[in-house]
Amino acid sequence: MEVNGRRVNEAIERGSGAGDTAVFTCECGHVGCNATVRMTIAEYEAIRSDFDRFFLVPGHEIDGVDAVDERHDGYFVVRKQGEAREVARDADLRTEHTD
């Protein structure tokens, strides 16, 4: 499910310039989540610097799946762990991964 949110957000990113602000969909794993976060394209790109980094609204993190790396006003940046990390790696089309 996180991967589906990621695909929506990447489409938003592609349609915007680096300095633009956009509303992105929470990338949590909760079915039916429709929470959104406004951030710049550059902020979103910083989150996407690694395939296993996602953002979500506070309180949407899942124990054993999401490790909070950064806390921002209105959203957290998490790293996926375990099987969720493997799914994120397999679904990432930006780069090839060797780890």
Tell me if 25 sits within 8 A of 10, measured CB to CB.
no
pLDDT at 36 over 90: yes
Give me the mean pLDDT over the 30-37 stretch.
Answer: 91
Q: How far apart are CA 92 and CA 58, in angstroms?
A: 24
The pLDDT, as a whole number, for residue 66 is: 92
End-to-end distance of the chain based on CA atoms, in angstroms? 23
Alpha helices in the chain (DSSP H): 2-14, 41-47, 82-91
The pLDDT, as a whole number, for residue 97 is: 44
Q: So where are the chain's domains?
A: 2-91
What phi and psi, each to the nearest 5 degrees, are found at residue 16?
-130, 160
Question: For the whole model, what pTM was predicted?
Answer: 0.72
Q: What is the DSSP letter of 73?
A: T
